[in-house]
Amino acid sequence: MKKEVKLTELLPGEKGIVNHLTLRGLERRRLMDLGFVKGSVVEVIRRSMFGDPTAYFIKGSVIALRREEADEILVIKIDEGD
């Protein structure tokens, strides 16, 4: 069984499948509207010089999230062999 990790634990170039959002309310709805729904594949594109924000590619769009937002998104890491 694959281990669930925070989106912030993925390195640039790595991918994961969105499994769970720990946020509630309007913040949760905003992330879901941006494409962070269960089963979506997300790829880390690049981190800024100081690590915040980070750019992610999801559902055909590049989205920049702050660390505190990305920490609330749990993903299952996709290994290159999968």
Residue-range domains of the chain with CATH: 4-78 (2.30.30.90)
pTM over 0.85: yes
Whether the pLDDT of residue 1 is over 60: the answer is no
Strand ranges (E), 22-67: 41-47, 54-58, 61-65
| pLDDT tens per residue, range 16-63 | 999 999 999 999 999 999 999 999 999 999 998 887 899 999 999 999
Distances, alpha carbon 26 to alpha carbons 15, 23, 29, 46, in Å: 26, 9, 5, 26
